[in-house]
Every structure is written in C-alpha cells, then in structure tokens.
C-alpha cells in the first residue's frame, strides 16, 4: 500500500514500512501478539497505544460461555461486529477456544431461535399421540405415524378424536365428520377399487 501524508509507519519487524493502520486492519495475529506482549520495546508500545486509542477499533471481547450477551442490545453487538470483523479480522479466529465477539454470540442466539421456531412449526404438523414414539427423536412425521387417520383429509386423529366409526364404517376428524347418517349417505359413493366408501369431492 502507498503511505499517505500523516500515516505512521512501522519502523521495525516483519511489517517494516507498512502503516500502523494497514497492520491494525489486516494482521490480526500480529495485533493480538503485540497487545499480549509482556515486555514490548518502545516502538512496539507506540503501535499498541495506536491500536488501543483508535476510535474505530475497541478490543471488546467476551468469554465464549458468558451470559453477558443476553443483556446487550442488538445495536451494541452490531457495533462490536463492525469493529472486529469490519476491520479485516476473520471470523475463524473467533472460535470456542478463544474469546468471541458479542456479535458472534448474538448471531448464535439468532440461529438457536430460528431452530426452535422450525421445530415448533414441525411439532404443529405431527400427531399428538406419536410424539416420542421414535427413540431419541421425540417427533414422528405423518408418514411414520401409526395412529388412525381421518378417512377424508388423512390427518392423524388425536385422543380427543377417538370416534366410533360413522355409519359408513369410516372414521373422521372433527372437521370432516358428517353430522348425521343421512349426510353420510348423501355425500358418499362406492369406491370400486377396494370396496370402501369415499366422500364426494
């Protein structure tokens, strides 16, 4: 990169003649090493002070298991994300063995919430009596459900819908069950394939 007037240049080490700003934005490992150095030289101290005092980068890190993120607003997490990831720092450095940015924790919470919502939607689609029938899963799809189904809509019947068969010999859910035997006779026709009766469309 070409230094601009007023840029402070590194006068030492492997980043010699690069600007402080370039190193700060592009060399995560070096910045981390410099900040944690126990006995820095005067030149290195100047670089560390530049990193710490720069308004565009605050070294705000939280432990990976911290619950502090629950108290942080989304905007605060976004600010930390912009400072860390927007400055050229790669997300791969923010793994479970290192401190992670508040924004990473916020993103993880969003993914967990989305997974819970998806599970809830799936749960609404399954038969009440079959939950937990598959070992370890707690959920059974309609295709795997062994409960009796409504003859008309083919949805599994729950305990509250444990009807006696209607006069046509079929079992219906609350929504599909005919109100009377006369209605059954008026709405069904013989299905020649298996001899069962089927409601007319």
Please count the residues of the chain. 201
At 31, is the pLDDT very low, low, confident or very high (cuts 50, 70, 90)?
A: confident
Rounded to an integer, what distance in angstroms lies between the CA atom of residue 193 and that of residue 198?
11
DSSP class of residue 156 equals: B
Q: pTM to 2 decimals?
A: 0.27
Looking at 87, 116, 145, the residue that finishes a domain is 116
Q: Is residue 121 in some structural domain?
A: no
Q: Where are the alpha helices (DSSP H) in the chain?
A: 20-26, 28-36, 42-53, 74-84, 102-124, 181-187
| Same domain assignment for residues 110 and 158 | no
How far is the CA of 133 from the CAs of 122, 142, 161, in angstroms?
Answer: 15, 12, 19
How many domains is the chain partitioned into structurally? 2
Quote the domain boundaries for residue 141. Answer: 128-201
| Same domain assignment for residues 33 and 65 | yes
Query: Which residue bears the tokens 């560390």?
Result: 48
| Same domain assignment for residues 35 and 66 | yes
Q: What mean pLDDT comes out for the span 38-55?
A: 76
pLDDT digits (tens, 9 = 90+) for 126-164: 555 555 444 445 555 555 556 677 777 777 666 555 556
Q: What mean pLDDT comes out for the span 82-97?
A: 42
At 109, is the pLDDT very low, low, confident or very high (cuts 50, 70, 90)?
A: confident
Q: What mean pLDDT comes out for the span 32-53?
A: 79
| Same domain assignment for residues 27 and 62 | yes
Count the Cβ atoms, other than its own, within 10 Å of residue 200.
Answer: 7
Q: What is the mean pLDDT of the chain?
A: 61
Q: Which residues contact 68 (CB under 8 A, 6 or more apart)?
A: 62, 102
Q: Is residue 9 in some structural domain?
A: no
Q: Is residue 79 in some structural domain?
A: yes
């Amino acid at each position: 990169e070409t230094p601009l007037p007023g840029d402070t240049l590194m006068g030492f080490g492997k980043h010699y003649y690069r600007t402080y700003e370039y190193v700060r934005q592009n060399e995560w490992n070096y910045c981390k090493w410099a900040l944690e150095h126990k006995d820095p030289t005067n030149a290195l101290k100047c670089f560390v002070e530049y990193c710490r005092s720069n308004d565009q980068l605050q070294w705000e890190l939280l432990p990976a298991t911290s619950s502090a993120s629950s108290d942080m607003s989304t905007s605060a997490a976004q600010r930390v994300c912009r400072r860390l990831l927007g400055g050229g720092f790669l997300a791969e450095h923010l793994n479970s063995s290192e401190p992670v940015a508040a924004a990473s924790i916020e993103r993880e919470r969003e993914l967990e919430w989305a997974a819970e919502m998806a599970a809830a939607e799936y749960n609404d689609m399954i038969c009440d009596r079959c939950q937990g029938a598959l070992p370890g899963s707690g959920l059974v799809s309609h295709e795997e459900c062994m409960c009796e189904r409504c003859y008309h809509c083919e949805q599994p019947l729950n305990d509250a819908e444990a009807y006696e068969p209607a006069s046509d010999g079929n079992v219906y859910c609350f929504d599909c069950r005919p109100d009377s035997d006369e209605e059954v006779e008026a709405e069904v026709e013989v299905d020649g394939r298996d001899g069962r009766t089927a409601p007319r469309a």
